[in-house]
């Protein structure tokens, strides 16, 4: 069985077991399972790879949370795909030991193991971080490591976008102004230009003040 086929099979099986919680497999996407959650969409991604030494297809889980309104405000490119998560992480990062774990996608008991991972780690992650105010609080604290994958530029852009969405546009634009000022005089101008375009977009959006 190909990696692609194994990935689709395990995703379908896991989606079926999670249907009672409101999850469904995304049509036309062979590795993503979703459901609405608070202010966002919760995403579970089944990533399958082939172990070259044994030819076993191994599956690991990734998690994402997509705030549709934020995606509309953020720059195009990496954020543009219809199923791109606004914040995401590997489920491994949520374990106490943060050890990487994979399961044989072809074994019947693997679905039970994945369900256990979802109940233990994914559900609390979705419940906590599917709220804009909670994500904003984490970003404002700026204590690393974050509970999701994000670089310094994404932090500023997403923090500013949340401020705009919750009616604090002036604060969001001021945050970008500070970053734009810090970028002045630097050799690489791409980041400053990106921030300036984002600020213009925020100013022109019709979010409440």
Say what the pTM is: 0.90
Is residue 141 assigned to a domain? no
Q: Are residues 63 and 120 in the same domain?
A: yes
Same domain (yes/no): 92, 169: no
Contact yes or no for 164/172 (Cβ under 8 A): yes
In a domain, 124, yes or no: yes
Its domain, for residue 178, covers 152-204
According to DSSP H, which parts of the chain are helical? Answer: 3-18, 68-73, 110-117, 123-129, 132-141, 152-165, 169-183, 190-204
- Our measurement of the distance from residue 146's CA atom to the centroid of its chain's CA atoms, rounded to an integer in Å, reads 12
Question: pLDDT per position in the chain (209 positions), as tens?
Answer: 899 999 999 999 999 999 999 999 999 898 999 999 999 999 999 999 998 888 899 999 999 999 999 998 887 665 556 678 999 999 999 988 878 899 999 999 999 999 999 999 999 999 999 999 999 999 999 988 888 888 888 899 999 999 999 999 999 999 999 999 988 878 778 888 889 999 999 988 765 44
The answer to the question of residue 139 being in a domain is no
Domain count across the chain: 2
Q: Measuring CA to CA, which residue among 161, 153, 160 is closest to residue 192?
A: 153
Residues 117 and 160 in one domain: no
* CA gap 192, 77 in Å, rounded: 17
Choosing from 81, 98, 133, the residue where a domain stops is 133
Q: Measured in Å, how far apart are the chain's first and last C-alpha atoms?
A: 55
Q: What length does the chain have? A: 209
Same domain, 109 and 64: yes
Pair 57, 23 in one domain: yes
């Amino acid at each position: 069985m190909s990696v692609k086929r194994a990935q689709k099979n395990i995703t379908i099986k896991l989606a079926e077991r999670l249907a009672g919680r409101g999850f469904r497999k995304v049509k036309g996407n062979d590795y993503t399972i979703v459901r609405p959650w608070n202010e966002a969409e919760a995403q579970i991604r089944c990533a399958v790879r082939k172990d070259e030494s044994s030819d076993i297809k191994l599956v690991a889980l990734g998690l994402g949370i997509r705030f549709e309104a934020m995606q509309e405000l953020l720059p195009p490119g990496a954020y543009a795909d219809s199923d791109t998560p606004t914040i995401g992480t590997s489920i491994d990062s949520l374990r106490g030991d943060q050890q990487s774990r994979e399961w044989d996608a072809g074994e019947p008991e693997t679905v039970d193991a994945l369900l256990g991972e979802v109940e233990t780690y994914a559900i609390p992650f979705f419940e906590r971080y599917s709220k804009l105010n909670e994500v904003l609080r984490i970003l404002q604290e700026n204590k690393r490591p974050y509970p999701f994958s994000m670089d310094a530029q994404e932090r500023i852009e997403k923090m500013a976008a949340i401020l705009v969405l919750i009616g604090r546009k002036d604060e969001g634009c001021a945050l970008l102004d500070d970053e734009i000022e810090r970028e002045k005089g630097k050799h690489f101008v791409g980041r400053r230009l990106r921030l300036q375009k984002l600020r213009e977009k925020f100013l022109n959006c019709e979010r409440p003040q």
